[in-house]
Each structure stands twice: as C-alpha cells, then as structure tokens.
Amino acid sequence: MAASPRKLSAKEVQALVGGLMDMDGGTTRVGENGQEVRSYTFGSNDLSLLGDYYALRMINERFCRIARSVFLPMLRFQPRISAFPPEIRSFEDYRNSQDNFVSLTISRIDELRGSQLLVLSPAFISLLTDAYYGGSIRPIRQTRNEFTATEHRVIEIVSNQLNQALQLAWRDLMRLSFNTTSREENMQFAAFVEGEDMVVNCSFMVQLPDQEPATFDIIYPLQTLRPISSQLRSRMQSDSVEDDRTWRDRLERAILSIPLQLTARLAEPELPLRMLLGLQEGDVIPVSLTESVDVLIEGQHLFTATPGNQAGQSALSILNRTVE
C-alpha cells in the first residue's frame, strides 16, 4: 500500500505560491506573459551525502522483522511492517511536515556521540492503547493536545522495546545502545537538532486489518551517522540478528538423524602374499581373538568394546572411548 502523503514544508509552499525560492540552483527564464519564472524540484533528496546507504536499508528491513513482536501485546497479532527508503532532509522541513501534537522520544547513542528521535502519531498511540486494554483495532478521532497517563505508559513500553529492536538490528554492523533521555509532545519544543541541520528520516508502515496503515518515523542526525558512513555504504553485512533456536533445533535433529556405519574389528591377522593367493573356499585362517574389540565409526577408531550376546543376538558392550 502507498504511504500516506506528507505535508508540504514551508519552503515548498512558499516556492509553490510565489516562486520565490530557487532551491535546486535552476536558471531564471521569462515566461509567455513576460513574467520571471524559476524552476523548482519538489522532494529532492541529496543521496550523495551518505551514498546509497545500503547497510542502513538492510538494518531497517531487519528492524521491521524484529519490531513485529513489539506490537503483539497491544494488537494481539504480529503486524506486517514495511520500511521506506531513508530520506535526507533538513529537520525544519521534517518538523513542518508534521503536526505539532505528536509523541517524541529522544534517545542517546553513546557510541556515536549522537542521538535518535522516535516519532509516533497520537492516532497510532490511541489505537494501541485502546487495543491493549481489550478494545477493537479501529481508528480513533483526535481532538486533544495531550496524552493520558495510560497512553504515556504505552508510549514508554513501545519506545523502550523499539529501541531494543534497533539495538538488535544494528548489532551486526556496530553495537549501539539507545538510551531514552527525554520525551516531548510538541514538535516545536523538541530539543533534538537545529532546524537547518540535515537528518536521515527512516519511515515505517504498520499494516492494520481493514483500515489504513499506521506509520512511525525514526530520525538520525546526519552528523551522527557520518563517522560510520563508509560502513553504511558497504554491501557486505551479515543478515543474522540473534540465535534462531527453532532453526538450530531443526538442524541439530537433522544432524543427529544421519546414519553412520559401525564396524567391530575382531582381529587383524597377517598373511603372506603366497598364502593369500592360494586361499580356497573352505580354508581356515588362524586368528588370535582378544577379550576386547575395536569399534570403528565410519572407519575411525572411537570405542573399545567387549563382544557378547543380548536377547539372543550378538552385541557389543562399550568399555571406553578412545582418546585422540
């Protein structure tokens, strides 16, 4: 499903109605009516700042798989979560595209000496709160400008668990810790970065049954990710997140079910070649049997055993394991 359309930023609106901005360095020309016309490109995204940040895309995809379990207690099912390509824009543009009343959670990334911002819409918070306490999954109209104490608790649970999911998603590239430092409800009061600073906007879409999907954003300051920009451009990343016990158990069962050939070596007599060439059917080869025999697994001597009988069948009693 397509993402919900974002609002135009203040600069885009100004360029649309007045043609006063020349953000892409376009040339000025004269229109048919003699008025001055300047070109303007909407939604421009300078990807050269971080390259194609392939690793960040993969981290977001991995985060989507882990974050599904975060919403399970609230929605009573694991929703499908999709990640949009990261977008680089100024924080002012992002702030102007959002409503003032939102859930903002700022977390500290000590390893990168930076921060991260989690943005949740009030409608999504209300839906999660209502569903968490037994209500149906349905859109709720918002006509207020503050969260209830119960919604604050849901925000705390969701934000903490999403931060844990981020730590797992980032682990193979770099071990990061996301520690919550503050929460805010007004976009204009968010002490995150300066308005003109560039940020990396990672948007995620949560599929909900029989209604429009919900979205939430994770914002990184571009300056925070610059020290690891070369790693973010790398395509050589592991796709393992944590030990998959189910896969390990299946693999262990499959390995333990592999049939192996067991051989009991009773004796090793030596014969001259002349006698070996003259052997005929019915000839007897003298051997010296010992009380113990060697037990070979696929040709490897692993055990020593005593031959005997059990329930009318020949059997081996293991004495010890050969130390190699």
Amino acid identity at 217 = D
248 domain residue, yes or no: no
Identify each DSSP E strand in the chain by its residue range.
28-30, 36-38, 81-83, 87-90, 101-109, 114-120, 179-186, 198-206, 214-221, 262-265, 293-297, 300-310, 313-321
Low-confidence winner among 109-123, 226-240, 273-287 (lowest mean pLDDT): 226-240
Confirm if 194 and 119 have CB atoms less than 8 A apart.
no
* Whether pLDDT at 81 is above 80: yes
Confirm if 21 and 14 have CB atoms less than 8 A apart.
yes
Q: Please state, in angstroms and rounded to a whole number, the distance separating the CA atoms of residues 117 and 105.
A: 6
Average pLDDT over residues 223-251: 73
Per cent of the chain over pLDDT 70 is 79
Number of domains in the chain: 3
Average pLDDT over residues 184-193: 84
Confirm if 221 and 109 have CB atoms less than 8 A apart.
no
94 domain residue, yes or no: yes
- Same domain for 136 and 214, yes or no, is yes
* pLDDT value for 239: 47
**Which one of 25-29, 71-75, 243-247, 282-286 scores highest in mean pLDDT?**
71-75
- Same domain for 117 and 174, yes or no, is yes
- Same domain for 71 and 192, yes or no, is yes
Select from 237, 268, 298 the last residue of a domain: 237
- Same domain for 111 and 37, yes or no, is no
* Whether pLDDT at 277 is above 60: yes
- Same domain for 74 and 149, yes or no, is yes
Q: What is the CATH number of the domain that holds 61?
A: 3.40.1550.10
**Which one of 9-13, 144-148, 178-182 scores highest in mean pLDDT?**
178-182
* Whether pLDDT at 285 is above 60: yes
Sign of CA dihedral 131, 134, 136, 142: negative
Confirm if 4 and 212 have CB atoms less than 8 A apart.
yes
Q: Please state, in angstroms and rounded to a whole number, the distance separating the CA atoms of residues 28 and 266.
A: 98
| pLDDT tier at 298, thresholds 50, 70, 90 | confident
- CA nearest 241: which of 58, 117, 57, 53? 58
Q: 82-121, pLDDT tens digit by residue? A: 999 999 999 999 988 888 899 999 999 999 999 999 999 9
145 domain residue, yes or no: yes
Of 137 and 130, the structure prediction assigns the larger pLDDT to 130
Per cent of the chain over pLDDT 90 is 33
- Same domain for 54 and 39, yes or no, is no
* Whether pLDDT at 73 is above 80: yes
User: What single-letter DSSP state applies at residue 33?
Assistant: T
Kindly state the tokens that stand for 145: 């400008």
Interstrand relation of 262-265 and 293-297 (parallel, antiparallel or unpaired): antiparallel
Sign of CA dihedral 17, 20, 25, 31: positive
* Whether pLDDT at 80 is above 90: yes
Tell me the C-alpha to C-alpha distance, in Å, between residue 90 and each of 45, 194, 232, 290: 10, 9, 20, 85
* Whether pLDDT at 51 is above 70: no
- Same domain for 267 and 130, yes or no, is no
Domain of 21 in residue numbering reads as: 10-44
Of 10 and 186, the structure prediction assigns the larger pLDDT to 186
| pLDDT tier at 34, thresholds 50, 70, 90 | low
Q: Please state, in angstroms and rounded to a whole number, the distance separating the CA atoms of residues 83 and 166.
A: 13
* Whether pLDDT at 269 is above 50: yes
142 domain residue, yes or no: yes
Tell me the C-alpha to C-alpha distance, in Å, between residue 70 and each of 79, 148, 164: 10, 21, 10
Q: The whole model's pTM is what?
A: 0.59
- Same domain for 85 and 183, yes or no, is yes
Of 189 and 45, the structure prediction assigns the larger pLDDT to 189
- Same domain for 133 and 21, yes or no, is no
Of 220 and 6, the structure prediction assigns the larger pLDDT to 220
* pLDDT value for 207: 92
132 domain residue, yes or no: yes
- Same domain for 88 and 166, yes or no, is yes
* pLDDT value for 178: 95
* pLDDT value for 162: 96
* pLDDT value for 11: 57
* pLDDT value for 50: 56
- Same domain for 110 and 39, yes or no, is no
Average pLDDT over residues 20-27: 47
**Which one of 58-72, 187-201, 228-242 scores highest in mean pLDDT?**
58-72
Q: Please state, in angstroms and rounded to a whole number, the distance separating the CA atoms of residues 255 and 262.
A: 17
Instruction: Output the CA torsion 238→118→193→179 (10° steps).
Output: -70
* Whether pLDDT at 290 is above 60: yes
